[in-house]
Amino acid sequence: MENNEEIDIKRIIEIIFSKKLIITLIILLSVTLGYVYSYYYKKPEYKSSVTILLVADENKTDKSLTQTDVNLNNGLISTYSSIAKSSSILQKTIQNLNLDIPVSKLEQNVEAKQIDNTQFLEISVKNESPERAKNIANELAEVFTEQIKEIYNLQNISIVDKAETEENPCNINHMKDMIIFGFAGIVLSIIIVMIIYMFDDTVKDQKDIEKNIKLRIIGTLPVDREKTELIVENNPKSPIVESIKTIRTNILYSTRKNSILVTSCKEKEGKSWVINNLAVTFAQTGKRVILVDANLRQENNKNEIFNIEKCEGLSDFIREISEDQMENLEKARKYIKETSIPNLHIMQNGTIPPNPAELISSKNMKRLVNLLKNMYDIVIIDGTSSILVADSIALSSMVDSTILVAENRKTKINDLKKVKKLIEDVNGNILGVILNRVDVQSGKYYGKKYGYYYGHDVEEIGKKLEEKQESISLDEVIELAREKIELQSPIELEDDKEISKQENNNQKDNEIKLLKQELLDEISKIKNSLISFKRKEKNDKRINNMSNSINNINNNINSFKQMQESKNKEILEIQENNKRLLNLQENRNKEVLQKIQKIEDIQNENKKELILQIQELNEEQEKIKDENKENVDILVQQFIEEINTLKNEIKELKENQDLNKNELLDKIENIKDEKLNEQIQTVKNSNNIISFEALRRKKPNKKVFNINDDTISFEDLQRLSNYVVDLKDESTLIAMNN
């Protein structure tokens, strides 16, 4: 949407109605989410409140009104509310109740407020547990009153109502939650609608095309709610038929050229429907009309719509086209089919080829278009969608005019801009846009808007165009085309080719082409009158009149030849200039090739040097690898030798250890019982000795160490034993263990 556009309320309402199902689903989903959240996910919180009365001290002897009393009644209660939520009071409350919550969280769940401008202060606490909410509220009130008494020396403060356990949670209101979520769904829907409106790039009316695309509207077509394929033929009194006839008249009086390509940006925009009915309206004017299906990428149903047999068509004819126009006329009999509608012939798309783009852009296609222009008054080509494939873009440079079909509320403005640029890049001529499927009720420009175009009254012109005229067969079309081609000399045919190559070079070329086309159209009209004259009059007078007509034609042709000769001179000059340019281009190409060759030689030399350097580096790398391998082998050998040496040393140590152990055992065995006996005798002679047998009888639950079996150090024996016998030798002790 352009920034300077006003907001279109009507368009917003249309978006709401077009997306009403989605909007309804969003709101219902939001309400459902609110229900689920409120009933299953929302944690209940319980609120307990304490009421505190703050009054002046009644025990004062002085009953006069002091400033303290005034402040108490007017301002201090709001201060007390802040004190009740202060960190010191909350921290002390947490300590007294041994709560495991931070002060900040408790502060969020505490509320202190004055009750209706009274001296009552209400302290409320919220918590997930009703019991804990009650305990916190009561404790907080106690701590608060103590603090107030200390700070303000206010003794007459009391707790009026203590907190009670609440059974119903304070934050659960299912209906309120569902309403909130429903409102959020409505807001979300509004946001979506506005986003669609802001980013809606589709064509909404003729102003969008005229303002943004800079193309004129040829006509508009309302929605065909009956979905009739050939509505012009089957329901001629329909308002849609009048719209199609208006478009036909606008096309006839906006260009005198007879080959028209009709395309669209994308598929499903009503292009083929418009072309089929437009072709019928052209045929109703008595003009020779051929409808060519140029969509070589998929099978179409034009044979079913016009009730003709399926046969070969465009793709097959393109392959057989030659430079001989007379020969091509005879070949055309095979591919062009007459319809039940007078003056309307059809060329179907034919066999689907593997290379449709190449066929469409080939020289044979150009020859075919020129052949059809000689055969028919109106050549209508049903092209492919221009955004998806480039077939129609190539065709637009071969035909006289191109018409774009856009669908209201669907075709994007940017797509139309792209197609316009693509056609203009190949020097195609865009006649205008047909806006299809316009809502008649909302379309202010339908009908009368295009009643007068180029200064003509459409209704009167349409009646004149549709005056009863005789039908013409394919054979007659071919015969007329043969006579027309015979009148064109070979030189003129070559000139036509040169003119087509130099098309759009200057304004003079275009004027000569237009004059030539007008003369050819005049010739065609005169020949048509001559044919009808032959059918009506079979006498000499008819022949004389025909001769006079032919003389007039020859005079016109002679005048045209004179103009053509002057044009030939200009063409020769252009050709000479082209030759000079070609020579210059060849010289430049040679210079470029020489420079490229030099660059390649330099690159080859650099490559050789680089290859030599790489080879040298590889050789050095191999040498380093060999040296490293030798060093590694030496280190491994040294490491193995050191390991073997260590093993030998360990083995020697083990052998020495075994020898020392054996020697130690031998020494222990050599200790004789003589010294031990002496020690025992010494112990017996002492007064502190007790026999082992007596000791065992006296302490049956104690363990007695036998001197012959057990030994223990003196310090350990002192710590562990009740009885210690000193044998006057630190190496041998006898004791009873605890």
Q: Would you state the pLDDT for residue 224?
A: 76
**Pair of tokens at residue 295:** 């969509």
- Structural domain includes residue 461: no
Q: Which two tokens stand for residue 1?
A: 């949407």
Q: What is the CATH number of the domain that holds 122?
A: 3.30.70
Residues 177, 313, single domain; the answer is no
Mean pLDDT of 390-396: 92
Of the listed ranges 266-280, 451-465, 624-638, the least confidently predicted one is 451-465
pLDDT band of residue 377 (cuts 50, 70, 90) is: very high
Domain co-membership, 300 together with 213 = yes
Q: Alpha carbon of 273 to those of 111, 437, 554: distances in Å?
A: 73, 11, 42
pLDDT at site 115? 82
Kindly state whether residues 392 and 433 are assigned to the same domain.
Answer: yes
**Tokens representing residue 191 in the block:** 């946001």
Query: Does the pLDDT at position 429 exceed 50?
Result: yes
698 lies in some domain: no
In sign, the C-alpha dihedral spanning 178, 179, 182, 187 is: negative
Least confident of 153-167, 299-313, 341-355: 153-167
* 358 and 326 in a common domain: yes
Segment among 115-129, 365-379, 649-663, 724-738 with least mean pLDDT = 724-738
Beta bridge partner(s), residue 47: 126
What are 346-374's pLDDT values in tens digits? 999 999 999 998 999 999 999 999 999 99
**How do residues 557-613 score in pLDDT, each as one tens digit?**
776 677 777 777 777 888 787 788 788 878 877 887 888 888 888 888 888 888 888
| Residue range of the domain that includes 188 | 9-42+172-199
**For range 381-390, the mean pLDDT:** 90
Residue 395's nearest CA partner among 497, 254, 260, 494 is 260
Using CA of residue 5, residue 6, residue 8, residue 12, what is the dihedral sign? Answer: positive
- Asked which of 383-392, 567-576, 643-652 is least confident by mean pLDDT, the reply is 567-576
151 with 183, same domain?
A: no
In the chain, the number of structural domains is 3
Residues 94 and 187 in one domain: no
pLDDT recorded at residue 37: 85
Q: Backbone phi, then psi, for 220, in 5-degree steps?
A: -125, 150
The answer on 145 and 21 residing in a single domain is no
Continuous segment of H or E residues that includes residue 533: helix 507-536
Residue 215's CB: how many other CB atoms inside 10 A?
17
At 290, list the tokens.
């051929």
- Whether residue 216 is found in the same domain as residue 95: no
Same domain, 382 and 278: yes
Spatial distance between the Cα atoms of 548 and 544, rounded to a whole number of angstroms: 6
Q: Tell whether 422 and 385 lie within a shared domain.
A: yes
| pLDDT tens by residue, 483-519 | 888 776 454 445 555 545 554 454 455 556 556 655 6
What CA–CA distance (Å, rounded) separates 344 from 472? 9
Mean pLDDT of 513-529: 61
Mean pLDDT across 318-332: 90
Q: Does residue 670 fall inside a structural domain? A: no
Amino acid present at 606: N
In a domain, 657, yes or no: no
pLDDT for residue 212: 87
Taking CA atoms, 478 is separated from 288, 375, 543, in Å, by 11, 6, 22
Residue 601 belongs to a domain: no
Last residue of a domain, one of 460, 488, 516: 488
Distances (CA, A) of 521 to 375, 524, 525: 11, 5, 6
Q: Are residues 15 and 53 in the same domain?
A: no
Q: How confident is the model at residue 380 (pLDDT cuts 50, 70, 90)?
A: very high
- Predicted confidence (pLDDT) per residue in 532-541, tens digit: 666 666 656 6
Residue 82 covered by a domain? yes
Same domain, 189 and 303: no
Checking if the pLDDT of 718 tops 90, the result is no
Average pLDDT over residues 306-328: 91
- As a whole number of angstroms, the distance between CA 109 and CA 561 comes to 103
| CATH number of the CATH domain containing 413 | 3.40.50.300
- Tokens coding 497: 């080719």
Asked, for residue 185, whether it belongs to a domain, the answer is yes
684 assigned to some structural domain: no
Residue-wise pLDDT for 202-244, tens only, equals: 888 888 888 888 899 999 998 877 778 888 888 888 889 999 9
- Is 697's pLDDT higher than 80? no
**Residue for token pair 């969003």:** 26
